């Protein structure tokens, strides 16, 4: 639809989802949260989509945060509902059966950093800045920031970013493990699409198995995670892609994975 807050572009197995509210620095309001949830549901259901890239429109922001104009008038129960709405959408992204890359082209603050952190991989322009500035509004992160930042960067960094609200540059974000790669701004799209294409050409069922194992392992004791990994490893032997991959290796050729 023409009034959608998103742009969708398919490129050889990679679906690029762009949050298209540049006049609002791509801030997340309720309509955008719902549109993102629906867009990731749709991407999950399309066999032709092998990987997803998520970014923001315009030169300034990936997502500058949740929409403060919408939040300002919320009552306590409405605030909790808004938080849960955002958390559900981000959990949808986190549990995608296909790899999702956040292409961080500018500010990723508040809900923007929370959105980036629920993606599986993050590539940032060297000009990007990330942070959790909710403390400056008398709020706390509400879309999972306290929990994912803790898991990605550790307790000390999570406390620093959330308690001070001070943004950090992309280089420090990489040092803390919040982003995977930092590249020159001019190269951001090409570098991100190259990685996405690599993932799109990989074995889809194996990708899904890896995503599942790491999600399960991150939320369970190591014994449970290892047991789940062994089960997924065994299931891979039932796939045509595994036979093709091992055969291609032995025949010294490129594999042709069919998602079977």
Residues with catalytic annotation?
A: 114, 134
Q: Contact 117/152 with Cβ under 8 angstroms?
A: yes
Which pair of structure tokens corresponds to residue 235? 């299931």
CA count, 13 A, side-chain hemisphere, 49: 22
Q: Contact 62/108 with Cβ under 8 angstroms?
A: yes
Following CA atoms 17, 62, 101, 39 in sequence, which dihedral angle do they give, to the nearest 10 degrees?
-30
CA angle in degrees (0–180, nearest 5) for 171-159-155:
85
Please name the residue that has the structure tokens 């989802």.
17
Phi, psi of 187 (to 5 degrees): -105, 0
How many other CB atoms are there within 10 angstroms of residue 250's CB atom? 8
Please name the residue that has the structure tokens 């190591």.
222
Please name the residue that has the structure tokens 């749709």.
42
């Amino acid at each position: 639809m023409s009034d959608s807050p998103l742009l969708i572009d398919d490129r050889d197995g990679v679906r690029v989802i762009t949050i298209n509210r540049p006049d609002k620095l791509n801030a997340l309001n309720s309509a955008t949260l719902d549109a993102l949830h629906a867009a990731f549901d749709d991407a999950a259901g399309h066999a032709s989509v092998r990987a997803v890239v998520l970014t923001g429109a315009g030169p300034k922001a990936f997502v500058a945060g949740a929409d403060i104009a919408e939040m300002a008038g919320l009552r306590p129960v409405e605030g909790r509902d808004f938080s849960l709405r955002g958390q559900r959408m981000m959990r949808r992204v986190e549990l995608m059966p296909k790899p999702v890359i956040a292409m961080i082209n500018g500010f990723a603050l508040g809900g923007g950093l929370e959105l980036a952190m629920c993606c599986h991989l993050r590539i940032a322009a060297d000009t990007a800045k990330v942070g959790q500035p909710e403390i400056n509004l008398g709020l706390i992160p509400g879309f999972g920031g306290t929990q994912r930042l803790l898991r990605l960067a550790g307790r000390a960094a999570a406390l620093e970013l959330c308690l001070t609200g001070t943004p950090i540059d992309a280089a420090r974000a990489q040092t803390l493990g919040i982003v995977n790669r930092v590249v020159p701004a001019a190269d951001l799209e090409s570098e991100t699409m190259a990685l996405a294409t690599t993932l799109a050409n990989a074995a889809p069922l194996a990708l899904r198995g890896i995503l599942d194992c790491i999600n399960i392992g991150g939320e369970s004791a190591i014994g449970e995670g290892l047991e789940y990994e062994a089960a997924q490893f065994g299931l891979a032997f039932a796939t045509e892609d595994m036979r093709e991959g091992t055969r291609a290796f032995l025949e010294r050729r490129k594999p042709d994975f069919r998602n079977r």
